[in-house]
Amino acid sequence: MTLEKFVPEVKAPKNGKTWHSLSSEEILHELNTATDLGLSSAEAERRLQEHGPNQLKEAPPTTFWQMLWEQFNNFVVIMLIVASVISAILGEWVEASAILAIVVLNSALGVIQERRAEQALAALRKLAAPEAHVIRDGSRQVVPATQLVPGDLVLLEAGNFIPADLRLIEAINLRIEEAALTGESVPVQKDASIRLEADIPLGDRKNTAFMGTVVNYGRGKGIVVSTGMHTQIGLIAEMLQSVEQEATPLQRRLDELGKTLGWAALAICALVFAVGWLRGYEPLHMFM
């Protein structure tokens, strides 16, 4: 099963163009790019200001206080905090301190685990920002992938990460590993000379290379048609960020179990308190 069943890649991108249905000459004319010279440095800078950097926008990171609140926003934890406060009011400082220490330790471990997970993701995002070999001012240059703009001519060789969505204009035995995007188990053979239907599925676009995939074999040349959040992987990232996080079935069951055990414990305590009080024990002693 591939992502094509879940993501509307067959629709036109946000810029309204279906680049795979155009010829190489039409795309070069549309993006005002010379086959041999590429863009000038001045034009590339102007387009960078217009389109923004070639990078995925990230959702605001979870703050420390938000992570801490998630650790305390639990029925059992709230019940323990209430028990700790009551113990402190009644002068039972040892019990109050022990309960509070357990709650604080549990919350601290939860926050540390979430923070480490975010740091690991941040490290992976840095690795996913390679350099790109482009033709600018008529010469081959190496620029950060974040500075690519629509119209840039990108040179591809085996082992290169595709830095943006490209319409191929040259492909010599070019095969690209697209498993991360389409789920294809084998590298896809590319052909820059063909024109495709506008509504052809993502996995069948043989004249296009997509951001985040890897050149497996051969070499080629492509013109950048989409960058950043306008790429296919950017559309997926935008959809993922727009989905609200929901608790997993296991988390919901554990939460229900915690509430059930908590209310059961309170009911048993109330029963013991009532029986002890009826048998003549002091109410404060039975409460504790």
* pLDDT tens readout for residues 78-116: 888 888 888 888 777 888 888 888 888 888 887 787 777
Per-residue confidence (pLDDT) for residue 1, from 0 to 100: 39
**Please, which residues have CB within 8 angstroms of residue 43's CB and are 6 or more apart in sequence?**
151
Give me 178's structure tokens. 């697209």
Contact at 8 Å (CB) between 181 and 233? yes
- Closest residue by Cα to residue 206 from 181, 230, 222, 188: 188
Kind and range of the H or E element at 115? helix 93-127
Per-residue confidence (pLDDT) for residue 224, from 0 to 100: 93
Per-residue confidence (pLDDT) for residue 5, from 0 to 100: 38
Per-residue confidence (pLDDT) for residue 149, from 0 to 100: 93
Per-residue confidence (pLDDT) for residue 105, from 0 to 100: 86
Per-residue confidence (pLDDT) for residue 14, from 0 to 100: 46
Residue 244 DSSP class:
P
Per-residue confidence (pLDDT) for residue 3, from 0 to 100: 39
Give me 269's structure tokens. 């305590």
Q: In the chain, which residues have pLDDT < 50?
A: 1-14, 124, 127
Per-residue confidence (pLDDT) for residue 12, from 0 to 100: 43
Q: What b/e sequence results for 144-168 when a residue is b if at least 16 CB atoms lie within 10 Å of its CB, and e otherwise?
A: ebbbbbbbbbbbbeeebbbbbbbbb
Burial class (CB in 10 A: 0-12, 13-18, 19+), 138: exposed
Per-residue confidence (pLDDT) for residue 243, from 0 to 100: 60
Angle between helices 64-72 and 93-127 (to 10 degrees): 130
Contact at 8 Å (CB) between 284 and 90? yes
- Paired with 166 in beta bridges are 209, 224
Task: Tell me the C-alpha distance between 19 and 205, whole Å.
Answer: 10
Residue 164 DSSP class:
S
Query: Does the reported pTM lie above 0.85?
Result: no
Task: Tell me the C-alpha distance between 81 and 160, whole Å.
Answer: 55
